[in-house]
Every structure is written in C-alpha cells, then in structure tokens.
Structure 1
Amino acid sequence: MMDDLDLGFDEQDRGEKGKHRRGAVRKRKGGSGGGGGRGKTVLALLLALVLLGGIGGGAFYGFDRIQSYFVTPDYDGVGTGEVTVEIKQGALIADMADALVTAGVVKSAKAFIEAAEANARSKNIQPGTYKLRKQMSGESAVTAMLDLKNRIVNGITIPEGRTAKNIYKLLSEKTKIPVKDFEAAAKDPIARGVPDWWFKRTDDKKVKPSIEGFLYPDTYEIPPKATAESIIELMVENFLSVAGEMEFADRVQKERKISPYEALIVASLAQAEAGRKEDLGKVARVAYNRAYGEFPCNCLEMDVTVNYYLELTGQDTKTSAEMTREELLDTKNPYSRKLRGMIPTPINNPGKDAMAGAMDPPVGKWLWFVAVDKKGTTEFAETYDEQLKNEAKARENGVI
C-alpha cells in the first residue's frame, strides 16, 4: 500500500537500488517511468501542506487558549465615558467583579479580583452605587471604587449657579437637617476650610468673608451621620480641589492682575447672565471691561446683582421688567447696579466652565450684551448704538 502511494519521502536515501525497484513496479503495471511519478509527487506535497496547515491552525488555536488561560484579560488605562454600577449589600469581591464585567467596566472578573487582592485597601469597598467608566483596567476600577467621590449612595446634585440660600434648602430636603443649621455652619467660611487668603482683593475693598462661591456644584454622597458642618466642608474641599487643578488662583493673579476672589465674583456673574456655555467667557470679559475698563461709571449695571440682594434679604426676586427704577438705581444696596467697581461677594456658586471663562476670557472690547432669541443666542456690542440694534432684534423676537 505504501508503494502504491509512492510518497517519495526517501528518494535520496534509497539510491540506485530504490530507483530500479520503483521502475520495475511501473513496468509491471504497464506505465512508463516519466510524468506519472511527478503527478503523484505533487499530490503528495499538497496533502502534506494541508496536513501541516491543519496542525498549524490547531496549534495556533491551542496556543491562544493556553495564553488566555495564563494571561489575565484586562483593559489598559482609566477607561472612557461614564456608567453607574450598583454593589449590593453583602457582595463579595467576586460578586463585585461580575457586576463590573456585566456593566462593561472591566474586561474580566479575574482582572478585578487580582487587582483587589493586590490592594490591601480593597476590603474597604462599600456597597452602594458607583460612578465609573467603561473599559477600565482592573487596577483603575479598584482605585476608583476606593475614591469616595465616585460612590453615590445618598446622592444629591447641586446645580451650577445656585445661591447658598437655595443650596441650604436643597440639602435640608435631602438630609432633613434644618436650614438654620447650614446657615449657622456657613457663618465662618474659614472654619469650614476656605483659606483666609481667598478673602483678599486688589481693589482695596474690605471683605466680609462669605461662603458664597465656595459651595462647588456637583453630585455628592451624603454620609448617614453627616452634619451641616461636614457637608459644607465637603463642598468647600471639592471647590479647592477643582480650583487647584485649574491653577485658578495662580493664573488670574498672573494673567488678569486681580485677586482670585474678584475673579470668582466674575465667574458667578457669568454663570448668572450667560444663556449658553459658549458665552460664559464673553460675559466675563464684559464684567472686566465694565468694572476695570473704560466704561463711564466703572459699574456692572447687571440686574442679577439686584436680584441677589433681594434674595439675600428675604425678598422675592424679579425679572428685569418687574424691577422698579428705585431698585435699579438704589446706591444704598451693596450689590447696586451703579456700585463703582466689583460687588462685595460672588452672587452664586459657579461651576468649572464659568470659572474657566473668568480665568481666561476671550479678548474683546464688549461692554453690552443681550439675548436676541428664545434659544438663548446672545449678541455682544462694543458701542451703545450696536446694543440698541441688538435690543431691537430681541424685541422683534419677543425676548424683551
């Protein structure tokens, strides 16, 4: 049978004797010693290649299986996007790993388990809801879950641009801690963690420290035994962390030539006045141009400052159209539209984008602005004539 296949693997070793033998076989079958042998050899080579290919494919598949067994499947880096994951009461590390795989946070349960085993602090991971990212490495997921800022159990979101008085109400509704407790805790901002240098100004105006501006808008987890003091301190700490990452204080002193506190006031004005995110920097520039530039009265002339004073003194806020001439021109109001220079304090608690706009506003000589449609589109003007044209456009669109 082997002779019939005539694979010819040992052609060279057989020598002349082998050649004569194969010739004799062909003669008995009536064949010649020519092309028939070459055809069988080609067929044999094809069969060999197929066989080797099959072995190679199987070997590759086997290697892949073996490699995945010994090398833990894992993503690189801190991931992208955002996803919330619930870790239930009594969950073990393996249960947490399964929940993270299901949510697309980690590539494999093994990646998270190994990272947790390598981190002694992993035993401190608590049940609750976590704000994480998609496709994180196991190590990054463990680190994120140990960071309390990513854990939302008794969470509350503080929107951008809310006043301290409004924030106290939101916090009281969530925690059942009386508003008066928050007001009492906030009376001494320095005791709550605001460094005293924040309350210095370059315009020589006297500063009465206020918590306004330092209650950073974000989503917070309120611990079960939280107090008014601890909650305010948590928000102040968050503000300082964000401001530090932005290099806010250093940059405004170097680039704007003003104190960080004055820039924070401008950020709050931009947060209150801008209808769209892209206008925050321009509104900040208008505030700088009016208070420190060539504006005739060097006053802000912004109705939002009047409204802040009304809220601060327990009165109802009003739209610009509802404000009386006396309210608009009242110079006894410390937040008067006609007050020369910058107002005493921020008028709300601005977010990061508003702070960025105040820190690095676009270059421009704008002194006026007005929303010209109900979408919030805002037109900016360098001259009062331009402003009047923009106001006419706003009236046509039923905005003012």
Structure 2
Amino acid sequence: MDELDLAWEDEDRPRHRRRASGPPARSRKKKGRGGKTFLALLISLLVVGGLAYGVYAGIDRIQGMFSAPDYSGGGTGQVTIEVISGQLAADIAATLQEKDVVKSAKAFVEAAKKDERSKKLQPGFYSLHKQMKASAALSLMLDPRSRLVNKVTLAEGLTYQDTFKKLAEATKLPYDDFENAAKDPKALGVGDVWYARQDGKQRSPGIEGFLFPATYDFPPNLDATGVLKIIVARFNEEIEKIGFIEAVQNNLHISPFEALVASSIAQVEGLDKDQPGIVRVLYNRVYSGKFPCNCLQVDSTVNYYLRITGKGAKPSTELLQSELHNKNDPYNTHDVAGLPIGPISNPGSSALSAAMNPPKSDFYYFLAIDTAGNTAYAKTYAEFQKLWEQAQKNGVK
C-alpha cells in the first residue's frame, strides 16, 4: 500500500520544483494521504478480486477440460448390450460408448468406481437406452429386470424329449427346431471319442446323454442349434473336469460311450449315494460273464422305449411280458446281451462320477428297498427274492 500510495503522490506533484505556499507540508500530506489510501485500497481489492475470479474461472475451465463428458438424462429408445464374462469396467464402458448409451467411456468408469454394486454386474444381455447419464446406465444394468435371459433348469435324468420341451418353453422356439438341430450331434460339439464302442454293439446316433443337466441363462435371439451347442459345451466341460474319458479307458478298459450309457441308467435307478453301487451291478452283469446271457435285465430301459414312443412309463409290476421281451425294442435288455444301444437319460455329475469309479463288489442284483428310494444289493437271486419281500412290506410297488 505504501508503494501504491507513493506512486499516486508522484502524479499529483508539480513538475517544476518550488516551495508550496499554504499550510505546512506535514498537514497537507496527511490530508491527501487519507483520500489516496482509500482509493488505493479500493483499486487493490478490485485487482485482487479480479485475479481471484480469473483463477476460479481458469480452474473451472481446466476442470471442464479434464472431466468426463456425460449425458444428463435417462435416454431414449432401446439398445441391447452384452457383458461378457471376465470383462473389466473399461471394456464394458467402451461398448456402451460405441453403442451411444453413454457419452464417454470415462464417465461410466467413474460411475462404476463410485458404486460398490458395480462389482456384482453379471455377464449377459441388457436392455438399455441411448444417450443415458452414465450413473443411470449403471443403475439400470444393476436392475435384474434389465437383464435379457431365457433361464431354464434341466434336472438330472430327463430324456431328450423332456429336455426339448423345457427348452422350447423357455426360449419360445418350436420343439421341432430342437429335434432338427439334434440330428447332427457332431455339429453340436459331440466329439469322435463318443462314437466308438468296445463291445462291438451298435451305437445310438442321438443326442441323448449329452444334454448336461444344469441351470442355463441363454442369451436372446439364439436359435435351437446355438442353445444345444451351449448345453453340449457344458457337458464337455464336466467330462474334462472329472477326467471321465481317461478314467474309464485306463481303469475300466471300456469305451467312454459305454460308461455314459451305464451312468444314464444309474441316474434313473437310484439316489446319488447309491449310484456307484448300481453301476457296479450293471458292469458285473455285462462284463463278468457270470450273469445269464450277460443281459442287464433292467426295467428302466424298457420304460425308456415306452416313453420315447409315446406310450408312457409304467411301474415294473405293470410291465407286460410283450413289453419286456419286445424284439423291436432297440433298448431291450432282457433278451439282448450287454448295454443298450445308447443312454436312456441325461446323467448329472453324480452319475457320471459313479460310472467312472464304481466300488468293487460281487453283487448282481439291486432294488429300491423302501419308499425313500434307498437301494439294497444281493449276490444271488435267492437273496434278491428276500429283499423284494422286505421291499413290499415297506410299501414299495
């Protein structure tokens, strides 16, 4: 202030030197200093205020240069976005920007960082709008109602027909589309290893056994071939995970397809805990050479043929002799040696594991001993008869 004051004083003084008349210099200086000091203070405040505003405006402009461009509203129209498993927020953001859902990928990434729920974003297809505020787009993606899925649960032991019916219902695709797509299992991912049998018997060419039971979320606009490819791929993943092919070839010395057939029978014959013992009985009957005609003689294969031919399954006590010994039935195991021509259901993990590692035993008979489905085993037919009498007392029909 002193320097400013001095500058202003110099401008008021005469340019030539002479002694001023009037009041003493000290008095004049004091009076002039008060007016000039106020003026200088005012100018100083204006200058400082102007500088402060300039700095504020500059910072605001710089922040604007580096902040992420973003839309302000909830968007319009409809657009479908796919989130792929393993994608990072930046990957998803890039897709959203490309589809004009958000104005910039950076805006979505910043919104995701601020919302802990973004870590729970699931893979799949989402219905969003164009030109949405990034935070609004994220909130919509976190809403389960925005996820486009055809969800279906395939239980263990379903036949291919039952499976196709469930798939048709979930996807709204015609049942016949699945029938047609299944005519070429190799095209769906069934490998060559499943087309060989070591017992010399004919192999069923169908898709039965390869439709792995699980819960599936199918993306929209997928045709029947695409749906079945996903299911077969899941089967292949399970087979590889448990080492099924190597185990049955190296330890049991049978073809993977034969073991798959055995697992499909065990799946419908008993509870998970009993399936290994049931598989052992099946193997003993077919491969030991100690059972009459090496025939399985199980009613589940008879019932399978009745089901796929539209006649419906029956309790064992109601099966006719003509049905048990039908020479036209390719799944006849009462008169034909060995395992049937193909699986009779689609087995799950438990039955597949049972088929690759059954316990050693000399049992040749099994039956449900109670209404809960628990299985009992016998070595001889006489022992089996006694178990059957006990089962009847327990209410088994």
What TM-score do the two structures reach when normalised by structure 1?
0.64
Matched, 1:291 2:286: yes
Say if 1:333 and 1:161 are closer, same or farther in 2 by CA, change over 3 A.
same
Q: CA deviation at 1:321?
A: 1.8
Residue 156 of structure 1 aligns to a residue whose secondary structure is: strand
**Could you tell me whether the CA contact under 8 Å between 1:369 and 1:381 is conserved in 2?**
yes
Matched, 1:389 2:386: yes
Q: Distance in 1 between matches of 2:162 and 2:108?
A: 40
**Could you tell me whether the CA contact under 8 Å between 2:165 and 2:175 is conserved in 1?**
yes
**Could you tell me whether the CA contact under 8 Å between 1:268 and 1:347 is conserved in 2?**
yes
**Could you tell me whether the CA contact under 8 Å between 2:306 and 2:312 is conserved in 1?**
yes
Q: CA deviation at 1:265?
A: 0.2
Q: CA deviation at 1:314?
A: 2.2
Matched, 1:219 2:215: yes
**Could you tell me whether the CA contact under 8 Å between 2:363 and 2:379 is conserved in 1?**
yes
Q: Distance in 2 between matches of 1:389 and 1:177?
A: 50
Say if 1:354 and 1:124 are closer, same or farther in 2 by CA, change over 3 A.
closer
Say if 1:171 and 1:97 are closer, same or farther in 2 by CA, change over 3 A.
farther
Match of 2:249 among 238, 246, 253: 253
Q: CA deviation at 1:349?
A: 0.5
Q: CA deviation at 1:337?
A: 2.6
Match of 1:377 among 374, 377, 380: 374
What is the match of residue 178 of structure 1? 174
**Could you tell me whether the CA contact under 8 Å between 1:152 and 1:221 is conserved in 2?**
no
Q: CA deviation at 1:152?
A: 8.7
Q: CA deviation at 1:161?
A: 0.6
Residue 190 of structure 1 aligns to a residue whose secondary structure is: helix
CA offsets 1:341-394 (integer angstroms, 9 cap, x no match): 110000011001100000000111111111121122211111111111111111
Q: Distance in 2 between matches of 1:331 and 1:94?
A: 70
Structure 2 unpaired stretches of 5+: 1-100, 128-146
Q: CA deviation at 1:95?
A: 7.0
What is the match of residue 328 of structure 1? 324
**Could you tell me whether the CA contact under 8 Å between 2:212 and 2:234 is conserved in 1?**
yes
Q: May I ask how many residue pairs the two structures share in their alignment?
A: 273
Q: Which amino acid aligns with 1:267?
A: S
Structure 1 unpaired stretches of 5+: 1-88, 102-108, 114-121, 129-150
Match of 1:353 among 350, 364, 367: 350
Q: Distance in 1 between matches of 2:202 and 2:390?
A: 41
Q: Which amino acid aligns with 1:220?
A: Y
Match of 2:267 among 266, 271, 287: 271
Q: Distance in 2 between matches of 1:182 and 1:97?
A: 43
Q: Distance in 1 between matches of 2:219 and 2:178?
A: 16
What is the match of residue 155 of structure 1? 151
Q: Which amino acid aligns with 1:391?
A: W
Equivalent pairs: percent with the same residue? Answer: 41
CA RMSD of aligned residues (A): 2.7
Say if 1:96 and 1:357 are closer, same or farther in 2 by CA, change over 3 A.
farther
**Could you tell me whether the CA contact under 8 Å between 2:124 and 2:219 is conserved in 1?**
no
Q: Distance in 2 between matches of 1:161 and 1:170?
A: 13
What is the match of residue 74 of structure 1? none
CA offsets 1:164-222 (integer angstroms, 9 cap, x no match): 01100011111111111100000110111111221100011132421100011111111
Residue 297 of structure 2 aligns to a residue whose secondary structure is: coil
Q: Distance in 2 between matches of 1:158 and 1:236?
A: 13
**Could you tell me whether the CA contact under 8 Å between 2:365 and 2:381 is conserved in 1?**
yes
Q: Distance in 2 between matches of 1:302 and 1:95?
A: 61
Deviates more, 1:303-312 or 1:251-260: 303-312
Q: Which amino acid aligns with 2:214?
A: D
Q: Which has the larger radius of gyration?
A: 2
Q: CA deviation at 1:94?
A: 7.2
**Could you tell me whether the CA contact under 8 Å between 2:125 and 2:148 is conserved in 1?**
no
